[in-house]
Amino acid sequence: MGRKKINWQVPKGEKPTELDEKVLYYQEKGYLVPKRSLIKTPEQIEGIRRSGIVNTGVLDLVAKEIRAGMSTLEIDKLVYEYTRDHGAIPATLGYEGFPKSCCTSVNEVVCHGIPNEIEILEEGDIINVDCTTILDGYYADASRMFIIGETTPEKRKLVEVAKECLEIGMQAARPFGFVGDIGNAVEKHAKKNKFSVVRDLCGHGVGLEFHEDPDVEHFGRKGTGMLLVPGMTFTIEPMINMGTHEVFVDEEDDWTVVTEDELPSAQWEHTFVMTNDGLEILTY
Ligand code: MF3
Ligand code: CO
Ligand code: CO
């Protein structure tokens, strides 16, 4: 099992809790465990939940307004205004130089598409809108697919299977299970449907920062990766491709991630908290 990594440390002078004892047992055996700071307090979880309520409001508004003929910049404007009107900040705005309040990823764009004025939604398009909200310092991150009018059966199926991958990944995550259990379940479901899973991008811890540990890969083996401990908050956000899993980053803007074969891609995302009986969604 390789070298033991000491992530979980009980502060000097503190009496180990029942949870400490349990995690230390796994750490002793050589399993990868989270840093203790990744376990959120009930107050922090409440903060992320409140941020999640604004986040859900944003995506509900987009769901109501999105239509053919609209530019992706208009979506961005809705996201910006609703977020600010609710006392929150769009996390992507200015994040590592990203210029907009959400990501809009149409058809063969996998993720990180930049809203702009010239991209007009057309009948049959499938689009992912990904919003991350900061409220009182707490981050909530979610995305949904939208189908513009009627699309092809193949694209519709891709959107549905991607959503099922998120649900199946969620169900595979058990307290004191492993991050690899999630990826394994997602990958199996995608493959069963003859779709592929993007490997270059993953889900992530979230809550006090935009991207925290652990990486949540959407492929892998059961029983591998980091131990899932109650109080951890993270996203699952499978990107499912109709063709190859290979992707590239657009050289013009250094952000837009596109499928290598330019076949469509679909993604859904939620922010979750691990509880004593499985994952709870914080972005409903
Ligand atoms: N919301 C994306 C995620 O799910 C990250 C977008 S970062 C950006 O992790 F800079 F591209 F906006
Ligand atoms: Co995310
Ligand atoms: Co996101």
Structure confidence by residue, pLDDT tens digits, 253-267: 999 999 999 999 999
Query: How far apart are the C-alpha atoms of 178 and 172, rounded to whole Å?
Result: 9
211 C-alpha to ligand 2 centroid (Å): 7
The enclosing H or E element of 108 equals none
List pLDDT tens digits, range 48-81. 999 999 999 999 999 999 999 999 999 999 999 9
Pocket test for ligand 1, best of 139, 141, 143, 268 (most atoms within 8 A of CB): 141
Atom nearest to 206 CA in ligand 1: 9
Percent of the chain with pLDDT over 70: 99
261 Cα: distance to centroid of ligand 2 (angstroms):
24
Q: How many helices (H) and strands (E) does the chain have?
A: 5, 15
Ligand 1 proximal residues by C-beta, below 6 Å:
92, 95-96, 98, 103, 112, 130, 132, 141, 235, 237, 255, 269
Average pLDDT over residues 96-124: 99
Whether the per-residue pLDDT at 1 is higher than 70: the answer is no
Residue 43 has pLDDT above 80, yes or no: yes
Most ligand 1 atoms within 8 A of CB, residue of 83, 102, 112 to mutate:
112
Phi-psi region of 223 (alpha: psi -120 to 50; beta: other; left: phi over 0): left
Q: What is the pLDDT of residue 4?
A: 78
- Whole-number Å distance between alpha carbons of 133 and 206: 11
* Distance from the alpha carbon of residue 194 to the mean position of ligand 1, in angstroms: 27
Q: How far is the CA of 231 from the centre of ligand 2 (A)?
A: 18
> Ligand 1 test: best mutation among 92, 237, 282, most atoms within 8 Å of CB?
92
Query: Looking at ligand 1, which residue's alpha carbon is closest to its atom 7?
Result: 92
257 contacts: CB under 8 Å, gap ≥ 6: 105, 109, 110, 111, 112, 200, 201, 247, 248, 249, 250
The candidate with the shortest Cα–Cα distance to 219, out of 203, 199, 235, is 199
